[in-house]
Amino acid sequence: MSKAKEKETQEYLGLSHVLNLSFNWSAGPYLGKWLTELRDNGKLWASRCPKCQRLLLPPRIVCGICHIRTPEWPDWLQLSGKGKLLEWEKVVAPQMNPSTGKIEPEPYIHGNILLDEGVTFQHYLEEQDETKLKEGTRVEVVLKPREERQGLVTDILYFRIVEE
């Protein structure tokens, strides 16, 4: 057998592993309140920087630009969940969910939405037909039913097109 042939037929060995770790993390007072409000009351909130007036979604304790404290809940702004589509992308690359080890279904469409209150938010879109999407399309948030919500950002199912 020639050297090249030998190289082709050589069996490469390796080891299979499963990295399986469970861990808890504290979401902190602001993100924790935001997630529990989403889960329990189905409400979306954003905090506003008292200095530069921009909205922070999800709310943060300190404005990243002005470096000053933002007000605590309930001095947050409740969002309508409606807005317009700024841009979107069709994700075709198969990706593994790191919490289950399974490959997520693809393709799916992921959008960047400008909410009516003036803050952007990124999430999945319900519409899978790209020809029905254009910049400025009106969309609204759709949540999972109350009993299926887990207090995670995935409690938001997707944004769907609204006819107005």
Partner 1 sequence: MTSNTPYIVEGRLFVPYFNYYGALASEFYRQLRDHKKIMGIKCPTCSKVYIPPRSTCAKCFGNLNEWVDVSSKGTVTTYTIIHYTYSPSNQPMDVPYACGIIQLDRADTGLCHLLGEMSPDKISVGMRVEAVFKDQRQGNILDIKYFRPV
Q: Which residue ranges make up the site for partner 1 (CB under 8 A)?
A: 10-33, 35-36, 72-73, 96, 98-101, 151-152
Specify the residue, 94 or 101, whose C-beta has the smaller distance to partner 1: 101
Specify the residue, 23 or 131, whose C-beta has the smaller distance to partner 1: 23
Specify the residue, 30 or 121, whose C-beta has the smaller distance to partner 1: 30
Q: How far is the CB of 160 from partner 1 (least distance, A)?
A: 27
Q: Cβ distance 79 to 57 under 8 Å?
A: yes
* CA gap 106, 95 in Å, rounded: 8
Specify the residue, 27 or 143, whose C-beta has the smaller distance to partner 1: 27
Q: How far is the CB of 23 from partner 1 (least distance, A)?
A: 5
Q: How far is the CB of 17 from partner 1 (least distance, A)?
A: 6
| Count of other CB atoms within 10 angstroms of residue 8 | 9
**Residue corresponding to tokens 């935001």:** 34
Q: How far is the CB of 42 from partner 1 (least distance, A)?
A: 17
Closest to 50 in 3D by CA, of 37, 58, 61: 61
Going by the DSSP 8-state scheme, the letter that residue 163 receives in this structure is -
* CA gap 105, 122 in Å, rounded: 19
